[in-house]
Amino acid sequence: MDFSIKQSCPQCGAPVYLHESTSLVVCPFCKVKNYITNTAVPRYVLPCHPSINQEKEDLYHVPYLRFKGAIFQVNATNISHRIVDTTELGVTSPLLPFSLGYRPQAMQLHRASPQTSGRFLYLTIKIKHILSRAVHLADMTVHVDSSLLHRAYIGETLSFVYLPILEKRGKIFDAVTNTPLRQAPRDNLFLEKSKPFQYAWQPDFIPALCPHCGWDLPGGSNSLAMICPNCDTAWELLPKGFRELTWQQGESSDGQAIWLPFWKMTTQIPELAISTFADFIMATKQQFTTTRPGNKKPMSFIIPAFKVRPEIFLQTATRMTLVQHLFHFVPGDSHIKPRHPANLACREARQFFKVILAKSAVDKRRILPMLPGIRFINVKATLIYLPFHDDGHDFIQEQSGIAINKNVLSWGRKL
C-alpha cells in the first residue's frame, strides 16, 4: 500500500499531498510544476502526538527501512519472484519496536526537513542486510542444495520512515502515541548514536521545463522519462537532475496505435561471446520455427519501462528480447499518442539482464552456473516506444503479436 506524504510547495510553501512514488509535484495553489529528485534515500517522519512540545523534549527519530517492489532470484534450477512490501527496523537495539505496524499507511507522513525537531539515530544495519531479511520474510530463501546465482530488485520505492521517540523520566516514550515503551538506556546512549537533520538529505525540485528549449515537459505523476513536445528531445529524471536520452519509435502502419515504452539496452557479453543478436540466439540455443534471424544487429535487451506484476514483467521482457529482429526503429516523434508513461528507471532495467538471460537459456544447466561471473560491457540505453493495438482485452504488439493484458496496466484501464 502507498504512503501519503505531506510536503511544502517549493514555490509558495503551501502543503501538497503526495504518494511515495510521485515524481511530479503539482501545487494546487500556485500551479507550479516541479520534478522531485533525491540524491539521498528519501526520509519521512511519523507525526508526534499533539500533546508533545517538540521544542522542549529530547526527541529522537528511529529509522525503519521501507521497500516496496519486486525481487527476482535465480538459482541453479529456477527463477522465482515475489512482491515485497516491508518496513524493517534499521537499528540493532532490543529497546526499540521491531515494526511500525500499519501506522505508516494509516497516518500522514511528513518529509524530514531542517524544521523537523530532534535527532536522527544512525542506521546500524546495512541496507543490503535489511533487504535480505525482507527476502527471507517473503519465503524466498534459497534451499541448501541450490545456491543463489543472481538477485535483482525492481523496486518501486526505497525510503526511511522514522518513528519519533522521547526520553523522559528514565523511560522511552513512543512520541506518536505519547505512551511509555520501556526503561531508557544508560545516559546519552541515543545522543551518541544520533545526528541532527543533514542538508544532504533534502530533495531537489527541478522545474518541469525542457532543459533544451524551456517548453513544458509533461509527464504522468510517476514518470521518470519524458518527451518534450516542442523539440522532440527525451529526458530521464535521475537523482542529480535531467539527462538527455536517445529515443526511437517502432514503425507502424496503424493510425490508431497505442505506444508502450521499453528500454532497449544494447550490450556485449564477453563470457558468452555475445555481441550480436544472432550470437545470443546461438548461446541460448533458441529453436526458431520460422527463419532464423541471421543478422548482425547488436544484441539488445528489450525491457518494459513501465511497472507491471513480476510474472508479466519477466515474460514480456524475455519475449520482447527474443523477437527484437522484427522491430525497425526510426527517430522519435513526439506526436505519436497515446504514449504510456515511462515509470521504470533505466538503472533498474539494467539489473534485469541476467534474469532475462537465465529465462531465455534453453540449456539452463550450462548457462545458469555462469551467471555470477558474467559481465555486460558497452551498455547503451535507448528509450523506445513500440506500437500496440487494442483488441478490447489485450494490447497486441503490431510486429510480433505479443499480447499484454490491458488489466495489468492501470493506464490500460483508463483508455
Q: Between β-strands 59-75 and 119-121, what pairing exists: parallel, antiparallel or unpaired?
A: parallel
Output the CA torsion 124→130→136→141 (10° steps). -100
Nearest distance, CB of residue 229 and Zn ion, angstroms: 8
Residue 385 has phi, psi (to 5 degrees) of -115, 130
The rounded distance, in Å, linking the Cα atoms of 16 and 23 is 13
Site for Zn ion in 344-403 (CB under 5 A): none
Give the one residue of 17, 98, 122, 215 binding Zn ion; rule: CB under 5 A: 215
Nearest distance, CB of residue 332 and Zn ion, angstroms: 12
Residue closer to Zn ion (CB basis): 25 or 367: 25
Q: How many other CB atoms sit within 10 Å of the CB of residue 138? A: 16
Site string for Zn ion, 218-237 (x = CB under 5 A): ----------x-xx------
Nearest distance, CB of residue 20 and Zn ion, angstroms: 21
The rounded distance, in Å, linking the Cα atoms of 189 and 14 is 38
Residue closer to Zn ion (CB basis): 210 or 302: 210
Residue closer to Zn ion (CB basis): 11 or 399: 11
6 binds Zn ion (CB under 5 A): no
The rounded distance, in Å, linking the Cα atoms of 268 and 403 is 28
Give the one residue of 106, 189, 213, 362 binding Zn ion; rule: CB under 5 A: 213
Site for Zn ion in 21-40 (CB under 5 A): 27, 29-30
Number of residues located near Zn ion, criterion CB under 5 A: 14
Residue 349 has phi, psi (to 5 degrees) of -60, -35
Q: Helix 310-322 crosses helix 353-360 at what angle (to 10 degrees)?
A: 70
11 binds Zn ion (CB under 5 A): yes
Nearest distance, CB of residue 14 and Zn ion, angstroms: 5
Residue closer to Zn ion (CB basis): 231 or 362: 231
Interface stretch with Zn ion, choices 38-46, 57-65, 203-211, 281-289 (CB under 5 A): 203-211
The rounded distance, in Å, linking the Cα atoms of 306 and 408 is 11
CA 243 to chain centre: 17
Residues forming contacts to Zn ion in the complex (CB under 5 A) are 9, 11-12, 14, 27, 29-30, 210, 212-213, 215, 228, 230-231
